A = this chain, B = another copy of it.
């Protein structure tokens, strides 16, 4: 596709199913199918209490927070994100994302396309 415009409301929401993930929905905004061969851009909605449990993958990932309070555990660190803060998670680094606020969490997530896009669910990301 040479060029297209869309609004997020027009993009289907799919429930995320990784390990014991709950209350989390993904929208694929831009993908290879539309001509973006190096990266995909997705939008996530996490309900209060929502969590994406520990996992890793070959692709790198950037999470940019648009709304709410998100805790990210990755690479032996635990950080909190608020609006307009972001994290970068490199290849194969185990990570977990958790809505720690009382509102919905919304974030954008850019990932690289790799030869292997497998997501591996892991037991746990931290010592807690």
Contact = CB atoms under 8 A, between A and B. Distances in A.
A88 B39 contact: no
| Interface secondary structure of A, over-half rule | strand
Interface in A11-51: 29-30, 34-39, 41
Contact of A3 (B35, B77, B113): B77
B112 A34 contact: no
A43 to B, nearest CB: 9
Question: How many copies of this protein are present in the complex?
Answer: 2
Interface string A71-90: 01011010101001111111
Interface of A: 1-9, 29-30, 34-39, 41, 60, 62, 64, 66, 72, 74-75, 77, 79, 81, 84-91, 93, 95, 108, 110, 112-113
